[in-house]
Structure 1
Amino acid sequence: MKHIVEVDWLHKHISNVRIIDCRFHLEDPAAGLNSYIQGHIPGALYFDLDKDLSGPIEKYGGRHPLPNIEEFCEKLYAAGIDQHTRVVAYDDQGGAFASRFCWMLLYVGLKHVQILNGGYTAWKERHMPITADIPTVTRSFFTPRIQHDMLVTMEEVKMHSQRNDAVIIDSRENSRYAGIEEPIDQLAGHIPSAINYYWKDSLHSNGMWKTSDEQISRFLQLDKDENIIVYCGSGVTACPNYLSLKEAGYNNIKLYVGSWSDWISYDDNEIVKN
């Protein structure tokens, strides 16, 4: 698989890649960093969803808007990442936060980025080495090449929804999509014309990613020539669906970063429950 590497592969090539720990827990934002400090894969550096992969929350933009891209790239330079670096990211939440990091590296024009299959859990289950040592790395530099076609705005989502000329995928669990419950955001429901592909269906029940063939079967009803927009609650768990669609051979995919938390911040945006 293009965007996934296995534990054995990472263990074999550990000295030739830059490893990024993306562990995070929405209900306890400090838990990821605390876990990293206690122990992580040797050579790993830590990137925090709130502090490194998101910008300040404002009236519009959702719960996890993109950070200032220049500041984000500065953090990549400090982590020794450039256009030649092979990066492997991991978390312990099914790859959701590692996928957000992966998407962001692709967005700034980097190509050699992958996710550890099974994450930190799989690494520990295989009794691979763990350390509390925080590595020092040589600063790098690269010229960002922003991939604007990977991103879509609220206005564009609204236009496509009204015209019904793009496939809009809601990546949240079905109960949130249907508006039955909403444990995080203020309003329940989904964007008009959106269909539901729960992001965790990218994975097997044991947390391992489905193969490319399995992803192809999962999205079989979608036309590869259509424009596809993925969203979730705040632009994080839509990223596994983005990568899964890529694995299945879809290329016309955009992420609505603001997602549901941004959509409902506009009073005139329509909300559907079903």
Structure 2
Amino acid sequence: MNAIVSAKWVLARMYEPDVVIVDCRFALGKPDSGREAYEESHLPGAIYLDLEQDLSAPVEADGRGGRHPLPDPAALAARIGKAGISNESRVVAYDDQGGAMASRLWWLLKYLGHDNVSVMDGGFKGWKEAGFPVTAEQKITIPAQFLATVQHNLLAEVYDVQDVVAGAKQATLIDSREPARYRGEVEPIDRVAGHIPGAKNVLWTEGRGADGLWKSAEEQAARFEGLGLAKDDEIIVYCGSGVTATPNVMALQEAGYTNVKLYAGSWSDWISYEGNSIAIGNEENRKD
């Protein structure tokens, strides 16, 4: 399956028995809003998975793992199976947050070895604007068996990033957050401002065009070409908590990069370690 599918593609296949549609709507700071929106109206047959309850582990007291810690693979596989997703399912995820929450599920399923997963372009808003059907009726979910084959090559741990910063490992770090947060000028969520030293800033929302739809593979490639990367260079992508980095991971894949990893704990995990260094401002202005 393609990483991105159109609303028309979903409309044409939504009643096929192996298709599972997942509503991932979620608003940071309003943890109940996504489920409430789902209960009010969603794609026919869609199930709901919550960013914090289903797609993240509980937050650790010391902050390790970040604000949305990576779930234990076995626990996540069990939750995926309980939602009616099997290894044979074709999964389509959508949200109303520019694809960030849906991309989180896309990446998690890839991490568990499930490639038949896509994000619906345009999200719920685009679906409704197209005049496609919605409902408040919730389908009865029949649990399925989902066996995970964890793809460790898709994940970067904090020690991998530490090695990059120390110069012991070759990789390019990409920070997906807003430029002002990257530069350390503002920090509305985490307790420390700034970025991981050496990281380049590529805002995740720039993966969509003015119409809100996903850019073409060629346009995605143009976003990253200034970094001077070969297609097989190792790239580690992060954001605040491992959510909005996933659209950039998907964009890099669309652009043809083959060695892309997610630092799942991201900035909120990085700053939980006292010895980790922090950079402020733009990288070209740094004086080490």
Shorter-chain TM-score: what band?
over 0.9
**Structure 1 consecutive aligned stretches of length 4 or more whose deviation exceeds 2 Å:** none
1:138: Cα distance to partner?
2.6
Asked if the contact 1:82–1:110 (Cα under 8 Å) also holds between the matched residues in 2, the reply is no
Aligned position for 1:142: 146
1:70: Cα distance to partner?
1.8
Aligned position for 1:214: 219
Aligned position for 1:189: 194
Q: Deviations over 1:82-135 (max 9, x none)?
A: 221110000000000000000000000101000000100100100111101111
Q: Provide the C-alpha distance between the structure 2 equivalents of 1:162 and 1:55, rounded to a whole number of angstroms.
A: 29
1:68: Cα distance to partner?
2.3
Aligned position for 1:246: 253
1:72: Cα distance to partner?
1.4
TM-score by length of 1: 0.98
Aligned counterpart in structure 2 of residue 70 of structure 1, from 65, 68, 74: 74
TM-score by length of 2: 0.93
Q: Provide the C-alpha distance between the structure 2 equivalents of 1:18 and 1:36, rounded to a whole number of angstroms.
A: 15
Q: Provide the C-alpha distance between the structure 2 equivalents of 1:151 and 1:219, rounded to a whole number of angstroms.
A: 20
Partner of 2:15, secondary structure, is: helix
Alignment-mate amino acid for residue 3 of structure 1: A
Q: How does 1:23-102 map to 2 (within 5 A)?
A: 23-58=25-60, 59=62, 60-102=64-106
Aligned position for 1:162: 166
In the comparison of the two structures, how many residue pairs are matched? Answer: 274
Alignment-mate amino acid for residue 155 of structure 1: Y
Aligned position for 1:14: 14
Give 5+ residue unaligned stretches, structure 2.
Answer: 282-288
Asked if the contact 1:3–1:243 (Cα under 8 Å) also holds between the matched residues in 2, the reply is yes
Alignment-mate amino acid for residue 208 of structure 1: L
Alignment-mate amino acid for residue 116 of structure 2: H
Give 5+ residue unaligned stretches, structure 1.
Answer: none
1:142: Cα distance to partner?
2.9
Partner of 1:65, secondary structure, is: coil
Aligned position for 1:107: 111
Asked if the contact 1:82–1:141 (Cα under 8 Å) also holds between the matched residues in 2, the reply is yes
Match status 1:124 vs 2:131: no
Aligned position for 2:233: 226
Aligned counterpart in structure 1 of residue 207 of structure 2, from 196, 202, 224: 202
Q: Provide the C-alpha distance between the structure 2 equivalents of 1:93 and 1:114, rounded to a whole number of angstroms.
A: 16
Q: Provide the C-alpha distance between the structure 2 equivalents of 1:109 and 1:83, rounded to a whole number of angstroms.
A: 9
Q: Provide the C-alpha distance between the structure 2 equivalents of 1:166 and 1:69, rounded to a whole number of angstroms.
A: 25
1:71: Cα distance to partner?
1.9
Aligned position for 2:273: 266
Q: Provide the C-alpha distance between the structure 2 equivalents of 1:172 and 1:136, rounded to a whole number of angstroms.
A: 38
1:5: Cα distance to partner?
0.7
Q: Provide the C-alpha distance between the structure 1 equivalents of 2:101 and 2:146, rounded to a whole number of angstroms.
A: 23
Q: Provide the C-alpha distance between the structure 2 equivalents of 1:230 and 1:265, rounded to a whole number of angstroms.
A: 18
Partner of 1:229, secondary structure, is: strand
Q: Deviations over 1:180-225 (max 9, x none)?
A: 1101001110001100000001111232111111111111232212
Aligned position for 1:5: 5
Asked if the contact 1:61–1:262 (Cα under 8 Å) also holds between the matched residues in 2, the reply is yes
Alignment-mate amino acid for residue 36 of structure 1: Y
Q: Provide the C-alpha distance between the structure 2 equivalents of 1:31 and 1:81, rounded to a whole number of angstroms.
A: 24
Aligned position for 2:286: none
Q: Provide the C-alpha distance between the structure 1 equivalents of 2:9 and 2:233, rounded to a whole number of angstroms.
A: 35
